[in-house]
Amino acid sequence: MAVSKHSNASSFFFVLMDLPGLEASHHWTAIPICLIYILSVLGNITIMHIVKSVSSLHTPMYLFLSMLSMADLGLSASTLPSMVAVFLLGQRMIGTATCFMQLFFIHTFSVIESAVLLAMAFDRCVAIREPLRYATILTTRRIGAIGLAVVVRSAALHLPLPVLLGRLTFQPVSALSHSYCVHPDVLRLSRSSTVVNSGFGLFVMLSTLGMDAVLILLSYGLILKTVLSIASNAERMKAFNTCISHICAVLLFYTPLVSLSMIHRFGKRKLPALVYMLLSYLHFLMPPVLNPIVYSVKTKEIRVLGLHLILESSLAVVMAHSNHSSTSFFLTGLPGLEAVYVWLSIPLCIVSIASLAGNSLILWVVKSEPSLHQPMYYFLSMLAVMDLGLSASTLPTMLTIYMMGVREVTLDMCLAQLFFIHTFSIMESSVLLTMAFDRVVAISSPLRYGTILTNPRIAGLGLVIVVRSIGLHIPAPIMLKKLPYCQKRQLSHSYCLHPDVMKLACADTHINSIYGLFVVLSTLGVDSVLIVLSYGLILHTVLSIASKTERLKALNTCVSHICSVLLFYTPMIGLSMIHRFGKRTSPCSRVLLSYLHFLIPPVLNPVVYTIKTKQIRLRILRIFR
């Protein structure tokens, strides 16, 4: 019986709800949702930037406002992935682990926001009742402690939720009432007793949102008592006016939240599904958008500084464009062989065509052959896509050097190129890691292979790979754009790389260098360590197999992947070491090593997998017959 429960818990999916009756226009519905999220991100980041950059705003009221902006950003980020999947991509299925993780973050950030609103009510209470002691009561250290307590309380109270839900059994496919997972919604789909879960959920809600709401009301009772005791009508209005923004934020947060909670608990069959959806959207979408607007409209300091920031940013963009428009770099081909560059372009073109043809062929074979619709070949397709991206990122400037003799590249083109080169490099590294994981599962747990590496999980891994790589590399060109560059602008390669561009700056590049090292260690470093650990697990499993034939058969399935890992990491590590520690190394060795890294893997990966994978080899032979 325990086994069957485990099987159920590991294999079921939830179905997210879209807007009932508007299924045909979901792509159009996605547009305002995306705009709302963009406004939320921009508004809250602007508030945080203004408070951070203006020293006169380093007061308790504005520090709490920054906390509110962080909570709003967290709440938006918790709901965005599944809403985009539903409305933009039409993907409504969500796995157990993903659903439980999402509801944890949604409820955690909701309670954090509630606690921050309580802290802001306390701030207003102290400011109005004890104005002379305001600064001594709400010190920076005390505010920091309040912020820490807010986060710890919320995270600690919500950690048991996914654990308790993991004990329940559900239907193999269960339909939710929203476009994201919330605790009461998941709970009502359980086939087993939910008394403990329901009791704990009610306890958490009452001890956080309930208690916070009561304390906020008590705070405003004290504020009202103090305000009414002020003799001057003008002073009363002035004191009460400082609370209007906070009252609006409280109403925006609590009104839809309380209504939503009541509907979930008591109005399951009395209201149409559309009401559920709209009310939940009001709660999760509106406060993060409207809070920055309310505080900007009602707070003079933020309003003035916000307008000043917009004007200053516009001017900075214009000035930056004029300053950088004439900045350009000079790329390097193979030193000493300038006279034969045209002839060198021939093998370069052949290599590029071979890369394009080989990887496109792999993609076509996997797509057209139903027997290859398996995790291993899906990951191989991802590797082929990354190889194509890596080739496409380096090819334009290499051809201009060797075929046309044009070595000059503008700053913007250079920054765009280095972004794509490094992004696709990290993506390829991540794909190699997922392929190692695929081999671990196939060899260590062959009977569970199909249930562990499901299509949604593979797609999720692909999405994580893309988001991680892009997210980590976006800051690199932005930081390089801000640097001034010296008169000598000679790069060491036939394309732009981050360390290569950075060393030409005429300013302090410690931050750029540290960030670049952090990205390398947290991506390539972590990936390579995990790949080695994966092969340690594989080796441990293989050595436990009694039959020598079976051991060799198991190891043989890893040979192609090992070749790809060596092709990718060996020149990459060599190139990184030369850039950081080998300043006296000959320029020719740098160029050749970079060519090995960027040109050879995209060509040889399809060859290796075609030779070592019987299914692909036979399918390709059938094409040419």
Tens of pLDDT, residues 326-353:
578 888 888 877 777 778 878 888 888 8
pTM greater than the 0.85 cutoff? no
Domains 11-314 and 328-624 agree in fold: yes
Name the residue ranges covered by the structural domains of the chain: 11-314, 328-624
pLDDT over 60 (residue 4): no
How high is the pLDDT of residue 351? Answer: 84
Contact 180, 119 (CB under 8 A): no
Tell me which of 269 and 74 has the higher pLDDT: 74
Place of tokens 């260690």: 521
pLDDT > 90: percent of the chain: 20
pLDDT over 80 (residue 307): no
CATH match for 11-314 among 1.10.240.10, 2.40.30.10, 2.40.40.20, 1.20.1070.10: 1.20.1070.10
Contact 603, 354 (CB under 8 A): yes
Structural element, H or E, at residue 184: helix 183-187
Distance of CA 530 to the CA centre of its chain: 20
pLDDT > 70: percent of the chain: 87
Calculate mean pLDDT across residues 5-19: 62
Tell me which of 228 and 317 has the higher pLDDT: 228
How high is the pLDDT of residue 22? Answer: 65
How high is the pLDDT of residue 123? Answer: 93
The single-letter DSSP state of residue 490 is B
Superfamily name with CATH number, domain 328-624? Rhodopsin 7-helix transmembrane proteins (1.20.1070.10)
pLDDT over 80 (residue 94): yes
How high is the pLDDT of residue 306? Answer: 65
Calculate mean pLDDT across residues 473-498: 85
pLDDT over 70 (residue 208): yes
How high is the pLDDT of residue 409? Answer: 85
Taking only the tens place, the pLDDT of each residue in 17-30 is: 777 766 666 667 77
pLDDT over 90 (residue 156): yes
Tell me which of 485 and 575 has the higher pLDDT: 485
Least confident range from 36-40, 145-149, 528-532, 598-602: namely 36-40
How high is the pLDDT of residue 112? Answer: 95
Q: How many helical (H) and strand (E) elements, i.e. helices and strands, does the chain have?
A: 27, 5
The first and second tokens of residue 73, run together, are 């950003």
How high is the pLDDT of residue 493? Answer: 81
How high is the pLDDT of residue 211? Answer: 94
Tell me which of 268 and 45 has the higher pLDDT: 45
Calculate mean pLDDT across residues 491-513: 85
How high is the pLDDT of residue 456? Answer: 86
Contact 10, 96 (CB under 8 A): yes
As a whole number of angstroms, the distance between CA 74 and CA 322 comes to: 37
Contact 223, 126 (CB under 8 A): no
**Closest residue by Cα to residue 579 from 605, 602, 597, 567:** 597
Calculate mean pLDDT across residues 347-362: 85
Calculate mean pLDDT across residues 156-173: 85
Helical axes 211-228 vs 233-241, angle rounded to 10°: 160
pLDDT over 70 (residue 285): yes
Most confident listed range (90-94, 477-481, 578-582): 477-481
Least confident range from 23-27, 172-176, 477-481: namely 23-27
The count of other CB atoms within 10 Å of the CB of residue 412 is: 15
Tell me which of 315 and 55 has the higher pLDDT: 55
How high is the pLDDT of residue 584? Answer: 67
Q: Are strands 13-15 and 328-330 parallel, antiparallel or unpaired?
A: unpaired
Name residues whose C-beta falls within 8 Å of residue 288's C-beta, 6 or more positions apart in sequence: 40, 43, 44, 72, 73, 75, 76
Contact 369, 380 (CB under 8 A): no
In the sheet that 93-95 helps form, which strands lie side by side, from edge to edge?
Answer: 93-95, 13-15, 173-175
How high is the pLDDT of residue 2? Answer: 38
Calculate mean pLDDT across residues 249-264: 79
Amino acid at position 524, single letter: L
Q: For the chain, give the mean pLDDT.
A: 82
**Closest residue by Cα to residue 347 from 403, 386, 396, 400:** 403
Beta partners for residue 585, in sequence order:
none
Taking only the tens place, the pLDDT of each residue in 571-593 is: 877 776 776 666 666 767 777 88
272-277 contact pairs (CB < 8 A, 24+)? 272/20, 273/17, 273/20, 273/177, 274/19, 274/20, 274/21, 276/17, 276/177, 276/178, 277/17, 277/19, 277/20, 277/177, 277/178, 277/179
Taking only the tens place, the pLDDT of each residue in 394-453 is: 887 887 888 777 788 888 888 988 999 999 999 999 999 999 999 999 888 888 888 888
